[in-house]
A = this chain, B = another copy of it.
Amino acid sequence: MAGSTFGQLFSVTNFGESHGPAIGCVIDGCPPGLSLSVDEIQPELDRRRPGTSRHVTQRQETDQVEILSGVFEGKTTGTPIALLIRNQDQRSSDYGNIAVQFRPGHADYTYWHKYGIRDYRGGGRSSARMTAPMVAAGAVAKKWLREKFGTQIMGCMTALGDVPIPFQSWDDVSQNPFFAANNDVVPELEAYMDNLRRDGDSVGARLMVAATNVPVGLGAPLFDKLDADIAYAMMGVNAVKGVEMGDGFDVVAQKGSYHGDAMPPSGFQSNHAGGVLGGISSGQPVVVHVAIKPTSSIRVPRESMDIHGQAATVETFGRHDPCVGIRATPILEAMLALVLMDHVLLHRAQNADVHVDTPILDMDSGV
């Protein structure tokens, strides 16, 4: 495959560019009989869309989704579900010098070298706007998993730049523009962002995404392990530079006697593993941490070159997210949902029986 299809059995083929006529996706392999309408997809898109606070890009997109196929009388038919989102607010004039210059840290340079041609408007295909169709597809997967197994998928920001965001409650996440699971830290985050915008700079972020009530047995060793596919999904999201399962890099300094989650008949007593053992889900909550780099479109001038190999100083104006991590939570949730969905179908193919096992931790204690 040429790279625009995600998933083997619940597969999502993504298309579109930031400033082209439309973006969208085709979901192939959705089980028949799921009740589905736009009303169940749109809210997830609304969580991700731009222009909702002063801390994100001011581009105005309603991201209104249309279902073109695969749903009949309110239910999925097992045939491809095509989802279409028209682009609306393309101010291509903003991107004048990006056409001929390479932003340091941006895909400008590599797209140019790979294809010999690129749609530079708004980053074209490399724009984070391409995640919108994945959020829409993820909404379908989330719904199916929730109805079938009670699976819950949640995410939050755990650090913005060098400001840590200690976990307080999942309830807080929807109450602030940062997807912070801690309302108390919000004023500090707002001040941080206001300073950053004033400087014309950008910053990274750290996010967590987790799932509970995950069926035991998901994952297809040797290579399509659940954690391998999660790492693939997460690292493939724009700007992600690091992925951890469970304790992640902390395992380096851990002893085996500490790391291995004790599992008496009453259930797992900890979750250092992050829900995956040997590449297969254990029934513990699946816990993933992700590092997101600072946006490369900033006002601060930087040394670079143009498409003719000549020296250039790049300053990027126009509308950009100073921290792409802020809108990334719904994206990571969607990607985790898509991986889990695909693995349920894969597991069902070979093993027929899929179930949620009893000895699982509850989410808040287990994460």
Contacts and interface: CB of A to CB of B under 8 A. Distances in A.
Given A69-B16, A254-B204, A223 B6 contact: yes
Given A3-B346, A231-B234, 15 more contacts: A2-B346, A3-B28, A3-B223, A9-B346, A21-B67, A72-B117, A78-B117, A79-B124, A110-B219, A206-B252, A241-B245, A242-B244, A242-B251, A244-B249, A256-B295
Interface string A1-44: 11111101111011111001111101011111100000000000
A175 B254 CA distance: 26
Contacts of A259: 105, 204, 293-294, 296
A72 B241 contact: no
Nearest to A23: B69
A46 interface: no
Given A228-B232, A278-B110, A303-B263, A117 B77 contact: yes
A253 interface: yes
Interface string A31-69: 111000000000000000000000000000000001111
Interface stretch (A166-174, A183-191, A305-313, A326-334): A305-313
A347 interface: yes
The residue in A253, A298, A300 that gathers the most chain B C-beta atoms within 10 A of its C-beta is A253
A161 interface: yes
The residue in A80, A230, A281 that gathers the most chain B C-beta atoms within 10 A of its C-beta is A80
